[in-house]
Amino acid sequence: MRHRWFLFLLSFCALAVSGLQAQSKPELVQVIPPPMRRSEPPSPDSSSQELEQRGDDLRSQKAYLDALDYYSAAQRKDPKNAQIWNKRGITELLLQHFKESRKDFEHAVHFDREFADAYNNLGVIFYLQKKYGGAVKQYEKAIKMRPDSASYYSNLGAVYFSLKEFEKATAAYSEAVRLDPGVFEHSSHAGIAAQMSSPEDRAHFEYVLAKLFAQQGDSDRSLQYLKRAMEEGYKGIDNVYKDPEFEHLRSDARFTQLMASRPPAIPE
């Protein structure tokens, strides 16, 4: 009798454990193998231009290691070509090889002192390494050469936002939006995520953009970013009723509906 009772308990425990295992899902981070090379090695008979073009194609396919091989081969054939050094740097950046990327961008500006994009890209490296003073200097150099680039101003705004110098950040973002109202949509598809130290900063950022678009008269984008600010839990959301930039937006029925619905904050 005792033997049967023991077997019953053992079976019950086994079923309980298997049930728990079936219900629970593993939540872990797995280290996956490095990306594999998918292309044939660069041909020694190809010209620098052919190698560069093939590198461009591979980079567009996100085959970054292959692209780097081709850019390196092109660079060896044309070692003073700033454009190739810049493309190498971008590829290294996408692979998160920040040290190598910085060297490539420094080579690019060494061989072309007027290469605005390379200065901007060097600024991105400083930004990612949280060397904000260096980033500002590089962005300002790029802006001086090409003051019509919305992306440069957007990047400068991101630095000032990280430094919590919100007036300077707003001024830079305002110029970026003036030059290109879709600048943030472009960067969301092919850019580096801005460094936000806290959810509060992220929410504040969304509110600043909502204010800028409202000031520009772009109600659609303003409402979009205002909704995001509310979802991020922006604590100063009631300022929307007194900030002068939202004066016109407050007469929009969609604004009234949004504020009445009060989208709940997304939990962290």
Tens digits of per-residue pLDDT, 146-198?
999 999 999 999 999 999 999 999 999 999 999 998 888 865 444 565 655 57
Cα separation of 149 and 123, whole Å?
14
Q: Could you read off the pLDDT of 198-218 as tens digits, one per residue?
A: 778 889 999 999 999 999 899
15: in domain = no
- pLDDT tens digits, 217-268: 999 999 999 999 999 899 999 999 999 999 999 999 999 999 998 877 665 5
Tell whether 138 is covered by a domain.
Answer: no
d(C-alpha 251, C-alpha 191), whole Å: 35
Report the CATH number at residue 61.
1.25.40.10
- In three state form, how does the secondary structure of 61-102 look? CCCHHHHHHHHHHHHHHCCCCHHHHHHHHHHHHHCCCHHHHH
pTM of the model: 0.78
Taking the C-alpha atoms of residue 58 and residue 56, their distance in angstroms, rounded to an integer, is 6
As a whole number, mean pLDDT of residues 18-32 equals 62
| In-domain check, residue 73 | yes
Number of structural domains, the chain? 1
Structure tokens at 16: 């309980």
Task: Classify residue 133: in a domain, yes or no.
Answer: no
CA distance 251 to 34: 54
Residue-range definition of the domain harbouring residue 79: 47-113
Q: What is the pLDDT of residue 17?
A: 47
Alpha helices for the chain (secondary structure H): 2-23, 48-60, 64-77, 82-94, 98-111, 116-128, 132-145, 150-162, 166-179, 183-189, 199-215, 219-231, 253-261
d(CA 22, CA 17): 9
Domain contains 189: no
- Residues 157 and 135: their CA atoms lie apart, in Å, by 11
Judge whether 203 lies within some domain. no
The verdict on residue 173 lying in a domain is no
Q: CA neighbours within 13 Å on the CB side: how many for 23?
A: 6
Q: What pLDDT does residue 185 have? A: 81
Q: Which two tokens stand for residue 243?
A: 């900030």
Q: Distance between CA 239 and CA 253 in Å, rounded?
A: 18
Asked whether 197 and 209 are in contact (CB, 8 A), the reply is: no
User: Among 202, 115, 201, 187, which Cα is nearest to 155's?
Assistant: 187
Residue 2 in domain: no
